[in-house]
A = this chain, B = another copy of it.
Amino acid sequence: MESPTLDELTLLHANVCQALGDPKRILILYALHEQPRYVSLLADDLDMPQPTVSRHLAILRQRALVRAEREGTAVIYHLADSRIIDILNNMRQVLRDAIAHQTTVLS
């Protein structure tokens, strides 16, 4: 063993954050919170190609942010934990405040 920094939990933590670091995935999470849906419907509603949605869902599923549930040939996805939305909303608020208070928030 070397230095034990960057422990396992921090890595998982970063993985989860990274999964949130894509605009389409954020939209998917909000959409699933509003209403669980199966892949194609989600693709329609969000106006994204089905394979794209499927790939993003796979990532979110891997990180335990969503859960899949077969129903016939369809697979219904739903949020794994609604606190995820609380967290996203909190981040959005912090972001809004940052934009309001400080004048420069660039891309």
Contacts and interface: CB of A to CB of B under 8 A. Distances in A.
A3 B44 CA distance: 13
Contact of A17 (B21, B24, B83): B21
A5 B87 CA distance: 21
Given A11-B23, A23-B6, A81-B97, A91 B46 contact: no
Interface of chain A, main secondary structure: helix
Interface stretch (A35-43, A49-57, A69-77, A98-106): A98-106
Nearest to A62: B106
A95 B16 contact: yes
Interface residues of A, number: 48
A81 B105 CA distance: 14
A22 interface: yes
Contacts of A96: 9
A32 interface: no
Contacts of A46: 5
Nearest to A14: B23
A17 B92 CA distance: 10
